[in-house]
Structure 1
């Protein structure tokens, strides 16, 4: 296990590491750290470009890990849903929980501690296919050096005693990690779907490059046990709670499931990935102005609210704002929208002013635009 090349697969992306410049003991260390990702035959998927990189003497093990992760993400943009999450699986069924958190806030610690009870899938990037199959990435554990948060050590998953990745892992639920050192005991609660989507969007890679990104994300967050928030002080106390989520017969808490996709019209020009809404400095809307939705990428409707994605920017609309946007699928006047608001919410002496103010604000932030052409 000290050859001059190492063949790996990082969530589906084939890699060859050139170790010829390393001493024998250093080659051994690279093979040992990456043995969970080792592949004897490289995947010949024509849609992916095999990656090759030399490993130099004295180079950082963490820099190599980060390089492999970033380049592999680039290869899978738009193909897989990529969550910044640890992945832990039931050793028998392969049902996998994604433990989602920002960098440096608990993913690797969760994998390191709970990986003795659950199968180790990844400590960093959880890749999910359209059919909810999980593409494993059991990389070395990237552990922060105590007292030196800017440095990370790379630990072999096998040397650390983590359980192997089950065959054919499949998403069984998602968990938002929320550590609070003052808590006496951990707790698990369902996360409202739009709250969860809004929190998770920043913890994805390349979401805006996917077709129907919000639909894909909502599908993942309502899969299996659904999405929950885990409040805890020490992750080692949470094994029983997480195990319940993967138990189909559990009488545990129920996650929100109901949502509706709002699709852009066929043939519509969508905002470019990485873009956002175009603001408008308007201070008023002339009488008779017709408004229509600005170009948008995807949207979800949940319990009277709408989450609209424009390029890479999500905007959450509730109450009057949600009704105004919903009515503006075709050019519509503020007066017509006011009638819809009254039907939905009941009459109010300030209806006209409230709707006009909401419509103007949606124009200003770039969610609605004045319609062109004759009425």
Structure 2
């Protein structure tokens, strides 16, 4: 690879340094990353950082570029581990864990729709998707799933993205060999949020993270789960999603903002809520209140509260207690509030006491000072 070679990885620009590679290795990287190249950019441009390439293994380069770019974009975009596809000004993200078949989905569906990425979908604050048409990582030996082969989008015949696209749908991939007819299934908001959060990077560093993610996953009538046996059978479903055929209103949701995490936070292990001190027996006169939280969303499936980097799901009892705990309240007052909101129950006292104990343990409540 000769001359300036700058690539854009979902908004992070790098100048690839390949001086330690052979001519053949450099040429292969040029072919693989041709869709990500910024032809009019050079090493000295603002925002372009050096990226020395020390290995001729294309998959190792791909992983290194992705991880370095995730570190650069953390906090400034919603980062989803997903397949990105587009049609005109609409894009969708098909979210999946490692081993969920994202590369197969990208290689198959990308022949029908614009190929955004097989790995990372970055959503900017205005909803715009920053493309990452990297080489597709393909498992060649099922016995060694970590040893992947890289193929360029051109070699696979994937369509190019045309123009700017905005995220208009999110679906969680769920492959089931017994599911003969593919279907796009609506799921409750909180269920969808939990599934997507598990496949995101540094979400707590984004401004109003749960609010923003809820707005994204509820686009076009979502959140959705895409259940299928073979991804090739899902072309028309994805086409409908991109065409807006699924667009409809879902049950409204609300959110309660908290205190944002510092952008400099490393989200290191242990940076979430600390375990509460031993509270002993929980009596009716014990006072509790909300612990500091980042964001909360209330909708289908309950309430989801982000405490540090941990998500806490609240059911009906927890929702009532958390709502009232915006100021100190006793356990007895919490019990009365739950009975007033949900009705009488022979075990109300025990259920609320156990609920308060669980909320203290999860870090969503704390003892009042």
What is the TM-score normalised by the length of structure 2? 0.91
Aligned positions of 1:30-109 closer than 5 A: 30-42=29-41, 49-56=47-54, 59-90=56-87, 93-109=88-104
> Counterparts of 1:254 and 1:224 in 2: how far apart (Å)?
6
CA 324–188 in structure 1, closer or farther in 2 if over 3 Å, else same: same
Residue 229 (structure 2) aligned to one of 204, 219, 233: 233
Aligned alpha-carbon RMSD (Å): 2.4
Q: Deviation of residue 43 (structure 1)?
A: 8.5
Structure 2 counterpart SS, 1:239: helix
What corresponds to 1:322 in structure 2? 319
Q: Deviation of residue 268 (structure 1)?
A: 10
Check conservation: 1:87, 1:98, Cα contact below 8 A: yes
Check conservation: 2:116, 2:161, Cα contact below 8 A: yes
Check conservation: 1:190, 1:254, Cα contact below 8 A: no
Residue 132 (structure 2) aligned to one of 134, 137, 140: 137
Q: Deviation of residue 333 (structure 1)?
A: 1.3
> Counterparts of 1:152 and 1:222 in 2: how far apart (Å)?
34
> Counterparts of 2:330 and 2:43 in 1: how far apart (Å)?
55
Aligned positions of 1:350-361 closer than 5 A: 350-361=347-358
* Aligned residue pairs, count: 363
CA 4–14 in structure 1, closer or farther in 2 if over 3 Å, else same: same
What corresponds to 1:362 in structure 2? 359
> Counterparts of 2:95 and 2:56 in 1: how far apart (Å)?
29
Cα deviation, 1:55-100, whole Å, max 9, x if unaligned, reads 34x621011111111111111110010000010111xx23111010
CA 237–327 in structure 1, closer or farther in 2 if over 3 Å, else same: same
Which stretch shifts more, 10-19 or 136-145?
Answer: 10-19
Residue 167 (structure 1) aligned to one of 160, 163, 168: 163
Give unpaired runs (5+ residues) of structure 1: none
Q: Does 1:263 align with 2:261?
A: no
CA 287–64 in structure 1, closer or farther in 2 if over 3 Å, else same: same
> Counterparts of 1:304 and 1:227 in 2: how far apart (Å)?
12
Check conservation: 2:189, 2:300, Cα contact below 8 A: no
Q: Does 1:200 align with 2:199?
A: no
Residue 303 (structure 2) aligned to one of 306, 329, 334: 306
> Counterparts of 1:52 and 1:135 in 2: how far apart (Å)?
20
Structure 1 counterpart SS, 2:320: helix
> Counterparts of 2:140 and 2:249 in 1: how far apart (Å)?
36
CA 13–32 in structure 1, closer or farther in 2 if over 3 Å, else same: same
CA 304–228 in structure 1, closer or farther in 2 if over 3 Å, else same: closer
Which stretch shifts more, 209-218 or 122-131?
Answer: 209-218
Check conservation: 1:282, 1:364, Cα contact below 8 A: no
Q: Deviation of residue 45 (structure 1)?
A: 12
